[in-house]
């Protein structure tokens, strides 16, 4: 009787047996990493804005403080975007005819606000509050990255829950003195962990509550 299977069938069988195990595991692994990858989190993504506002120029070159425009950052959950009037305090004097700034002038003239694209976005069920982070020594750059080097704003961190928890579980790794919060050029001291622990005690940070669901979700 002739052979039912050709010699190659052995290899095929082995491949199938391996694939039964590898493919689902691989699929899960791929989707797991894909889900956390910049592809899914919008990390490093630069969005088109109505005005190509450059933090590199305003923060890096001119050294304007964050709070000049983001006035709510110490008071409220929402850091706030500047009203057109804030832009025009300077730009009614300098670059008054720049083509780039036409939408700003138009906004002021017509009373229609500028529509900016949100870059750093957390889901609606996350109740993030800027003011408490700033008050407790979490610098802007911890989450927003080196803004002073960004010609156009991009999302520097993944903004996933795991990323949030990496700090909420170990705030000593990221905390800095309160007067350095808005310093974009601050760098960690070599003994950051020890310094961080001291600051946690000094700023009365209740670390136990920081990983409660109710801290961010309600």
Partner 1 sequence: MSPLSGRLELNRRAALKGLAAAMAASMARCSQPTEEIIPYVNMPEGMVAGEPMRFATTLSLAGYGRGFLGISVDGRPIKMEGNPGHPFSLGATDIFAESEVLTLYDPDRSSVIRRKGAIATWDDFAAEWNRVAQTNDGRGLALVTGRTTSPTTLARIDALRTRFPALRWYRYEPVNDDASRAGGRIVFGRVVTALPRWSDADVVLVLDGDPLGHGPDELRIARGYSSRRNGKNRRQRIHVAEPVWTLTGATADFRIALKPGHVREVARLIANGLGAQLGEPRLPDYAHAFAQRVSQELQSAKRRALVLTGEGQPAEMHALCHWINSQLAAPVDYFPPQDPFENDHAYELKSLADDLHARRIKALIVVDSNPVYDAPDMLRIADGIADVPFSAHIGLYRDETAGCCKWTLPLSHALETWGDARALDGTASIVQPLIQRLYPTRTRDEYLAELANEPVTDAYDLTRNSWRKGAPAGGDFEKQWRAALHDGVIAKTAAQPTTASSSRIATLPYAAPQHELVLQLSPDTSVWDGRFANNAWLQECAKPFTRQVWGNAIQIAPADAAKLGIADEETVDVTVGGETVSAPAVIMPGQADGVVAAGWGQGRLSAGRIGTGVGARTCGLGTHPFARSLAGAVVRKSARNVPFRSLQAHTRLNGRTEDLFQIATAGELAPRHGKAAPPPNMLGIPNRGEYAWAMVVDTDACIGCNACVVACQAENNVPVVGPEEVTQGRDMHWLRVDSYARPHGYSLRRGFEPVPCMHCELAPCEPVCPVEASVHDHEGLNVQVYNRCIGTRFCEANCPYKVRRFNWFDYSGAQAYANEGPSLKAQHNPDVSARGRGVMEKCNYCLQRISRARKTAEKQEREIAEGEIVTACQAACPTRAIHFGDLNRANSDVSQLRATPQHYVLLADLNTRPRTTYLKRVYNSDETA
User: Which residues are near partner 1 by CB under 8 A?
Assistant: 39-40, 42, 47, 71-72, 75-78, 80-85, 107-108, 111-118, 121, 124-125, 127, 129, 131-132, 135-136, 203-206, 208-209, 212-215, 217-218
For CA atoms 29, 32, 33, 35, the dihedral sign is: positive
Tokens representing residue 143 in the block: 């989450």
φ/ψ of residue 128, rounded to 5: -80, 140
Nearer to partner 1, 6 or 206 (CB): 206
Residue 45 CB contacts under 8 Å (≥ 6 apart), including other chains: 38, 119, 154, 155
**Distance of closest approach, residue 81 Cβ to partner 1, in angstroms:** 4
User: How far apart (Å, rounded) are the C-alpha atoms in residues 2 and 25?
Assistant: 38
**Distance of closest approach, residue 69 Cβ to partner 1, in angstroms:** 9
**Distance of closest approach, residue 203 Cβ to partner 1, in angstroms:** 7
Nearer to partner 1, 167 or 205 (CB): 205
Nearer to partner 1, 1 or 109 (CB): 109
φ/ψ of residue 36, rounded to 5: -95, 0
Nearer to partner 1, 13 or 30 (CB): 30
User: How far apart (Å, rounded) are the C-alpha atoms in residues 36 and 43?
Assistant: 10
**Distance of closest approach, residue 200 Cβ to partner 1, in angstroms:** 12
């Amino acid at each position: 009787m002739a052979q039912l299977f050709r010699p190659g069938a052995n290899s095929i069988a082995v491949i199938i047996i391996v694939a039964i195990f590898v493919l689902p595991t691989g699929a899960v692994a791929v989707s797991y990493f894909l889900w956390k990858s910049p592809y899914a989190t919008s990390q490093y993504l630069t969005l088109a804005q109505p005005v190509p506002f450059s933090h590199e120029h305003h923060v890096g070159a001119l050294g304007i403080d964050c709070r000049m425009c983001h006035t709510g950052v110490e008071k409220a959950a929402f850091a706030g975007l500047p009203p057109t009037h804030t832009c025009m305090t300077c730009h009614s004097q300098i670059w008054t005819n720049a083509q780039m700034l036409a939408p700003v002038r138009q906004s002021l003239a017509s009373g229609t606000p500028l529509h900016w694209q949100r870059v750093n976005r957390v889901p609606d069920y996350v109740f993030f509050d800027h003011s408490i982070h700033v008050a407790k020594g979490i610098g802007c750059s911890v989450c927003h990255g080196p803004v002073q080097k960004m010609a156009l704003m991009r999302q520097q961190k993944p903004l996933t829950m795991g990323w949030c928890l990496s700090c909420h579980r170990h705030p000593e790794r990221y905390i800095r003195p309160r007067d350095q919060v808005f310093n974009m050029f601050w760098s960690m001291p070599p003994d950051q962990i020890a310094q961080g622990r001291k600051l946690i005690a000094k700023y009365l940070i209740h670390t136990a509550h920081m990983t409660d669901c109710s801290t961010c979700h309600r």
